[in-house]
Structure 1
Amino acid sequence: METLTYQDENMHVVQRCREGDNRAQYELYKLYAKAMFNVSMRITNDYAEAEDVLQEAFISAFKNIHAYKGEASFGSWLKKIVVNAAINSIRKRKAELVPIEDRMAETVADEVYEDETEWQVEKVRRAIQKLPDGYRVVLSLYLLEGFDHAEIAEILGVTESTSKSQYCRARKKLLEILHEPAFAAYEV
């Protein structure tokens, strides 16, 4: 039986990066920046912080590109770097914690969502933003980024059961937020 090996379609660009080609770095940045920013934003819940995390992650990836062995896609490898950088950023800010309600004071967008599904997605996105950091991180890693609880436990340095319980609590809290009278009546 023949074994299949993974071949990353961007491996030629990665190889050029390894050889010190700055244009190849820019190509990789253009290919992955938007997706990696979204990952960072879902975890940090702060635009400026997500941008900083993105830059740090790319710098780290380019410094350590020799460590990429091609066993998975470059995007998967980079995503792990972004997730770790975002979590480290959250840990750094723990010392300066501000109640979530104070941080989330934002104006409602003036946009009118024509599609009911789009409105519901926006409502859930805003409810996720209201979750405390620990809940939001586990929920985002599990539901949105596709990590399993063993991987989340390893990333966060906790037990798998802690990851599972945080996820259950996050789901419960998310439902509470969505059913709050002021939030349930919320219209974008």
Structure 2
Amino acid sequence: MEAIYIDKHYNLVIECKQGSKKACYELYRLYSKAMLNVAFRIVGDIAEAEDVLQEAFVDAFAKLKDFRQDTTFGLWLKQIVVNRSINMLRKRKLELVELEDGHLENIADDESWDDEDIQYQVARVKEGMKLLPDGYRVVLSLYLLEGYDHEEIGQILNISENTSRTQFLRAKRKLIEILNRKGTVS
């Protein structure tokens, strides 16, 4: 038997499927800020993230009749936003180099984060992430912020799981270099 997830916005989804513009607007209002953040973390440009957001909602509303509640509306919409964001990056000619299994680097994971001034550190990390190359930022965002595993990232980006892992490790190392250079990590 197929699992059905009923989230707190189930009735709005039903009303939207029935053609209610008010329900569609309410879904947009409820999810737009979070989805804009998802898009921005991936594409790294607010104007492009806004474009992604609009396109994702247009897609979602057009395909709403196909939404079967096998997940929550928010997760379903997030998948659309992530895919749209990846497509935006591909338009920018995102290139992730496929690596052979034997070329994975062992990168030390001995950096420690101080728990003081967490908000300050989070803000600095976000700023540092903006300086990462697109490929690094995308994998890092999908893994750390969006919760995808390397197998899922590989499928989304059409790369191997090992390439995803390598991109993540390199992104992490590059981010630490950026933060150390700016004097934000001790």
TM range (shorter): 0.7 to 0.9
**Which shows bigger deviation, 65-74 or 33-42?**
65-74
Please identify runs of 4+ aligned residues in structure 1 that moved more than 6 A.
none
Letter in 2 for 1:166: Q
CA distances 1:29-48 after superposition (whole Å, capped 9, x unpaired): 01100100000010011011
Shift of 1:4: 7.0
Q: 1:5 to 1:19 in 2, by over 3 A?
A: closer
What are the ranges of 5 or more consecutive residues in structure 1 without an aligned counterpart? 96-114
TM-score by length of 2: 0.83
TM-score by length of 1: 0.82
In structure 2, the partner of 1:134 is 135
In structure 2, the partner of 1:11 is 10
Q: 1:81 to 1:47 in 2, by over 3 A?
A: same
In structure 1, the partner of 2:85 is 86
Letter in 2 for 1:178: L
- Between Structure 1 and Structure 2, the one with more helix by share is 1
What are the ranges of 5 or more consecutive residues in structure 2 without an aligned counterpart? 95-115
Pairs within 5 Å for 1:1-188: 5-94=4-93, 116-180=117-181, 183-184=182-183
Q: 1:173 to 1:185 in 2, by over 3 A?
A: closer
CA distances 1:134-166 after superposition (whole Å, capped 9, x unpaired): 000000000001111111111111111111111
Aligned residues: 164
Task: Give % identity.
Answer: 52
When the two chains are superposed, the root-mean-square deviation of aligned CA atoms in Å is 2.0
In structure 2, the partner of 1:102 is none
CA distances 1:8-53 after superposition (whole Å, capped 9, x unpaired): 2211111111111111110100110010000001001101111010
In structure 2, the partner of 1:109 is none
Paired residue secondary structure (1:158): coil
